[in-house]
Amino acid sequence: MNASPPEGLAPPLAVLLELTHRCPLRCPYCSNPLELERARGELATGQWTRVLDEAAAMGVLQVHFSGGEPTARTDLEALVAHAAGRGLYTNLITSAVLLDRARIAALAAAGLDHVQISFQDSEAAGADRIGGYPGGHAKKLAAAREVKAAGLALTLNAVMHRQNLHHLPEMIELALDLGAGRLEVAHVQYYGWGLANRAALIPTRTQLEAATATVEAARVRHKGRLVIDYVVPDYYARRPKACMGGWARQFLNISPSGKVLPCHAAESIPGLSFENVAQRPLAAIWAQSEAFQRFRGTGWMPEPCRSCARAEIDWGGCRCQAFALAGDAALTDPACALSPHHGAVLALAEAESEAGREAFVYRQIGARIPA
């Protein structure tokens, strides 16, 4: 293993802390791994504050407090205050079902910059079914209003898939009604639980095209009032997404137990070993760890990526998706039309989206995943 950091390696822009995998919701597309971390394996407060110190010192600018449900940690306010004290831009990524006025006030006082609340649908029946949590939608609405009342910036994260895409216009209206400055229309990505539930989630091509048109029209109509970010499912794309802005280029993800990952799904790739913040400084892991070096830059690329004009635009797409769909993380992402596996992926998307499966495998510790 080459122990020296790559020349010209820029510091990461952002770190996402999965403070816990505990969560009251059971969303069938959760980005957490299928092997969920138990509470007893979580880092202690003092370990997280040290991670924040190290992140700020190495040039990280933003910290995302995520999970699971990060508000399940009673030390969240202390961690936010610590991060704010180090000059980090603090973002809370939450389901919001545990947030009340007092907690929001405490987080605002701790220096929280921004809150992102996920919504499962635009109305309660669908949302509570998808999230697997009765009463959740009403709690989210109340919490979102409290976030705004506390003067915090709000992003609404609308997670979209075949079973709720018909409500996309209502989701946009909901974002406006709640006073969100930003809306993420995020089509489900097929990793972890989302991959296990792909047949129940993947949109038809017709649905996807309608959604894209709806987003484009809404961007124009609400310009200056609501910023809309759009995350597409790339099974129907011709070119892959620049996943994470390139493997180990801008972003770090830290699991509840302290494992440092280039992305939240990286553990799905066999053969990579991930180092832990309890054992090694974050900066050293970023610069030198084998898992980060493995797909960093363009040196690992096979053809057609290696000689592609887009090599440093989309960075070969997504390594986790290459493994999930083509069986080898070192191949071109099959979302790319230049991949020999692209046709099969497209056929899979069309077949699954037309078959109409509705039942979900809900996220829970020890759930049985059908093969």
Partner 1 sequence: MTEGTLAPDCRPRLAPHVRLRFDAVRARQVLLAPERVLMPDETAVAVLQLCDGERSLAAIAAELAVRYQAPPAVVAADIAEMLQDLVDKGLVLA
Give the C-alpha separation, 34 to 343, whole Å: 28
Q: Which residue from 283, 363, 295, 29 is spatially nearest to 163, judged by alpha carbons?
A: 29
CA atoms within 13 A on the CB side of 203: 25
Give the C-alpha separation, 168 to 164, whole Å: 7
Reading the block at residue 121, the tokens are: 């649908």
Is residue 89 a contact residue for partner 1 (CB under 8 A)? yes
Q: How far is the CB of 204 from partner 1 (least distance, A)?
A: 28
Q: Which is nearer to partner 1, 154 or 349 (CB)?
A: 154
Q: Which is nearer to partner 1, 227 or 330 (CB)?
A: 227
The contact mask relative to partner 1 for 102-141 (x = CB under 8 A, - = no) is: -----------xx-x-------------------------
What stretch of H or E contains 6?
Answer: none
Is residue 223 a contact residue for partner 1 (CB under 8 A)? yes
The only residue of 8, 46, 151, 370 in contact with partner 1, by rule CB under 8 A: 151
Contact 253, 259 (CB under 8 A): no
Name the one range near partner 1 by CB under 8 A: 127-135, 222-230, 270-278, 290-298. Answer: 222-230
Give the C-alpha separation, 199 to 360, whole Å: 9
Distances (CA, A) of 307 to 151, 304, 318, 323: 49, 6, 17, 21
List the beta bridge partners of residue 187.
Answer: 160
Q: How far is the CB of 182 from partner 1 (least distance, A)?
A: 6
- Measured in degrees and rounded to the nearest 5, phi and psi for residue 49 equal -65, -35
The only residue of 86, 182, 239, 310 in contact with partner 1, by rule CB under 8 A: 182
Is residue 181 a contact residue for partner 1 (CB under 8 A)? yes
Give the C-alpha separation, 329 to 28, whole Å: 24
Name which of residues 290 to 309 contact partner 1 (CB under 8 A).
none
Q: Which is nearer to partner 1, 224 or 370 (CB)?
A: 224
Give the C-alpha separation, 276 to 255, whole Å: 9
The only residue of 9, 106, 152, 348 in contact with partner 1, by rule CB under 8 A: 152
Is residue 356 a contact residue for partner 1 (CB under 8 A)? no
Q: Which is nearer to partner 1, 198 or 264 (CB)?
A: 264
The only residue of 39, 44, 59, 369 in contact with partner 1, by rule CB under 8 A: 59
Q: Which residue from 28, 100, 24 is spatially nearest to 68, judged by alpha carbons?
A: 24
| Cis-peptide, bond into residue 281, ω within 30° of zero | no
Name which of residues 9 to 28 contact partner 1 (CB under 8 A).
11, 13-14
Handedness of CA 331, 334, 338, 340 (dihedral sign): positive
Q: How far is the CB of 33 from partner 1 (least distance, A)?
A: 23
Q: Which residue from 187, 196, 180 is spatially nearest to 140, judged by alpha carbons?
A: 180
Is residue 148 a contact residue for partner 1 (CB under 8 A)? no
Is residue 62 a contact residue for partner 1 (CB under 8 A)? yes
Q: Which is nearer to partner 1, 89 or 362 (CB)?
A: 89
Contact 104, 65 (CB under 8 A): no
Q: How far is the CB of 112 from partner 1 (least distance, A)?
A: 10
Q: How far is the CB of 47 from partner 1 (least distance, A)?
A: 22
Is residue 84 a contact residue for partner 1 (CB under 8 A)? no
Q: How far is the CB of 89 from partner 1 (least distance, A)?
A: 4
Q: Which is nearer to partner 1, 252 or 331 (CB)?
A: 252
Angle ∠(3,5,7) on CA atoms, nearest 5 = 140
Q: Which residues bind partner 1 (CB under 8 A)?
A: 11, 13-14, 57-59, 61-62, 87, 89, 91, 113-114, 116, 151-153, 155, 181-182, 184, 222-227, 229
